[in-house]
Structure 1
């Protein structure tokens, strides 16, 4: 009986060691953002549109994957917050962010001055626009000036749509034939429309355009046009400040280089992450 009691006591002590260690470990991880700044306490809630490989996509098992998901997981670890991803078409994201449905947008969004006035924007990499056609297309496009008398598919409310509208304005000013711009909710729908022959060519962010070409789903016509920073953006400045610190810590310890290199993403030239623009005004 005494032996049995002793064995039980030893078992309790053995269990107590790891448990106390886990409690101590949890206590050393303090969220870097006050709960009042978050939509949901203890969580960093981010929206994404998983139709742009390799930045964000759904794999064959239905799991969200990609560079932006990996970056978000790393940020969550450093901020001591659980990351929760909300899937959403891009056009709805900015209104939903302003309505506090989530904390930030993590979907490979291009930086614009206009966007920097309605949310706290954090450029962290560079991106551009690829113009593609269906595989085997004989069409050629020598320069942006050659984008005339064509129908072009593009994701709605995107940087590439705005860029094309600027090209169209330039065409009109110079007496060239117009561009017919057809907008779709997601990049996947743009690609489906291209393959179905609904329009002549398509415009994608270069990380997606390059991925489609590599997969044999498209032919490159005009690469890396209209280079601009790509960014994450946030509703709360304290959240954005904490993300900036975590990003710069990632730069210092090499995590930033490792993740962006793995996906072939172009880094910011100065590799200094900061809020850009005035923020909500």
Structure 2
């Protein structure tokens, strides 16, 4: 049984507001997925000392409200049964269990995640790239390293030895990704070298980015390594990884707002316990992620880009 069924709307927050706007938004933007009771999470038990260190507000409420844009398979996505699934929901659910908390996931658009966190609609963001430009409004607990993959259709004769080989290609990118910044620099370098620049198109999420290959709109898609390798392994007739860059200088993290730094510390300590107990590595394996994608020290605001 999936622990994250979509069971309601996203209008629950610290201050409950009953308004027509909330009802309208909930129909189109948000659904809540309720995590299992900590006692039912396999192989994970509450740690009394760590639970006692959780800020009183969350201990009293007993629940963490997490905003999620489930758009990246296998990290966080909506499965064929309409349930939120993936490595990150499993990991945060386990961390919440260590802290003797329940988990509620609120499905949201990407653009609404950080504003929702700052407006106290969410306690934590499920999965977000840790960029230094976001550190003024979000405190990250990083749990994954992130490499880059360039993906192409096997029907196209695309081969790459470096990112410089992107010159002149039609490149699809997820909106707001680190690859957007990098692609601009590469395009400038192409022009300086007397080559054609990149033609870049951005899409709302990784799924739409990859779909642009199937429709022929784009020649290559630049996506995070777990996404690229997962989709290439599941649908090799559609997708092929033509280049892997392991040196992306950022991680993926859970995010809390600046007022929630004590919560960040609690989540970090819960993750360290999960690592010690073997749960973290087991979840990496379950979702087809390699150990190179792991970030076992779980730094706070570890992003350097």
TM-score (ref. length: structure 1)? 0.80
Q: Say if 2:130 and 2:140, in contact at 8 Å, map to a contact too.
A: yes
Q: Say if 2:146 and 2:293, in contact at 8 Å, map to a contact too.
A: no
Q: 1:70 aligns with which of 71, 77, 90?
A: 90
The 2-side partners of 1:201 and 1:269 are apart by 26
Q: Say if 1:116 and 1:277, in contact at 8 Å, map to a contact too.
A: no
Q: 1:231 aligns with which of 229, 237, 253?
A: 253
Gaps of 5+ in 2: 1-44
User: Which structure exhibits the higher relative contact order, with contacts defined as CA atoms closer than 8 Å and separated by 6 or more residues?
Assistant: 1
Q: Say if 1:123 and 1:276, in contact at 8 Å, map to a contact too.
A: yes
Runs of 4+ in 1 over 4 A off after TM superposition: 28-32, 267-270
**1:138 equivalenced with 2:186 (yes/no):** no
Structure number with larger C-alpha Rg = 1
Q: 2:241 aligns with which of 220, 223, 227?
A: 220
1:71 to partner: Cα distance: 0.2
The 2-side partners of 1:89 and 1:181 are apart by 22
The 2-side partners of 1:206 and 1:223 are apart by 7
Q: Mark the CA change 1:175 to 1:100 in structure 2 (over 3 Å): closer, same or farther.
A: farther
| Partner secondary structure for residue 140 of structure 1 | coil
Aligned twin of 1:87 = 107
Q: Say if 1:45 and 1:102, in contact at 8 Å, map to a contact too.
A: yes
1:74 to partner: Cα distance: 0.1
Aligned twin of 1:42 = 62
Q: Say if 1:32 and 1:80, in contact at 8 Å, map to a contact too.
A: no
The aligned runs of 1:120-135 (5 Å cut-off) are 120-135=139-154
Q: 2:268 aligns with which of 231, 241, 244?
A: 244
1:78 to partner: Cα distance: 1.1
The 1-side partners of 2:154 and 2:61 are apart by 48
The aligned runs of 1:258-273 (5 Å cut-off) are 258-263=282-287, 264-266=289-291, 271-273=296-298
Q: Deviations over 1:150-184 (max 9, x none)?
A: 11111101122222223223334444321111111
| Partner secondary structure for residue 218 of structure 2 | coil
Q: Deviations over 1:83-107 (max 9, x none)?
A: 1112223233222222222012222
1:205 to partner: Cα distance: 0.6
1:267 to partner: Cα distance: 5.1
Q: 2:178 aligns with which of 159, 163, 183?
A: 159
Aligned twin of 2:38 = none
Q: Mark the CA change 1:196 to 1:270 in structure 2 (over 3 Å): closer, same or farther.
A: closer
Q: Mark the CA change 1:49 to 1:270 in structure 2 (over 3 Å): closer, same or farther.
A: closer
- Range moving further from structure 2, 66-75 or 91-100: 91-100
Q: Say if 2:179 and 2:222, in contact at 8 Å, map to a contact too.
A: yes
| Partner secondary structure for residue 197 of structure 1 | coil
What's the RMSD between the two structures over aligned residues? 2.7
Q: Deviations over 1:176-210 (max 9, x none)?
A: 32111111111121122221111211111110111
**1:257 equivalenced with 2:281 (yes/no):** yes
Gaps of 5+ in 1: 1-24
TM-score (ref. length: structure 2)? 0.74
